[in-house]
Amino acid sequence: MKFAVLVFPGSNCDIDMFHAIKDELGEKVEYVWHTATSLDGFDGALVPGGFSYGDYLRCGAMANQSNIMSALKEFAAQGKPVLGVCNGFQILTEAGLLPGALIRNKNLKFMCRTVQLKVENNNTLFTNGYEEGEVINIPIAHGEGNYYCDDETLASLQANNQIVFTYEGENPNGSLADIAGIINKEGNVLGMMPHPERAANEIVGGADGLKLFKSIVKQWREQHVNN
């Protein structure tokens, strides 16, 4: 499987993502600059964290105007897996690939530590390697990770089982319904604030995030290699 790691001016988790795929997962991966206009030849797309365009205007708003975003939207429409982490999640909401928005943390402070997440839905291409209800440890590093949407959208997310991860125990940012990660209705676009790529090896404190990437590869192989 071949992954694209999108890179915007100000991205700072692209190397972490590249390392997780290449060295921990053992799959093919390439950086794709924001000026590119195609994602042809890739099987999965990863939108990393950081501060794209300095987080001016709104987080992810300027990144959404980049050339690569048209290709990403087409890529997602084809049913291929798209993962947005932290700033990547913000970009996916700005692009309309996921509902809702990420606003300032409730305490108005940048937060960087490991938190516990509960796997609410393990029947997705991103979470099939986890048990339903499993509690995992994943780092966060964000100032605007407070997920918000209107009541109608929240009801839809709940009815369609689109809430994939919630914060277990402490909610670090005030996120609505303790939401830490959601998926689109089609099931191929996931956005999450915590960083699974920073939890891909025990040497950095844990490998709970590696299961997410293994889940993507497992389903891709079942669909493309075993058939």
Residue 226 has a pLDDT of 60
Residue 227 has a pLDDT of 58
Amino acid at 84: G
Count of domains observed in the chain: 1
Evaluated on CA atoms 210, 211, 215, 218, the torsion sign reads positive
CB 139 within 8 A of CB 194: yes
Specify the CATH number for the domain of residue 143.
3.40.50.880
Where in the sequence numbering do the catalytic residues fall?
86, 195, 197
Q: Residue 66 burial by CB count (10 A; 0-12/13-18/19+): exposed, middle or buried? A: buried
Cα separation, 17 vs 20, in Å, equals 5
Cα separation, 60 vs 10, in Å, equals 11
Tens-place pLDDT, residues 180-193 = 999 999 999 999 99
Residue 225 has a pLDDT of 73
Place of tokens 């966060």: 140
Domain that holds residue 74: 2-224
pLDDT along the chain (227 residues), means of 10: 97 96 97 97 97 87 94 98 98 98 95 97 97 97 97 98 97 98 98 97 94 96 77
CB atoms within 10 A of CB 113: 8
CB 193 within 8 A of CB 180: yes
**C-alpha radius of gyration, the chain, whole number:** 16
Residue 211 has a pLDDT of 97
CB atoms within 10 A of CB 192: 28
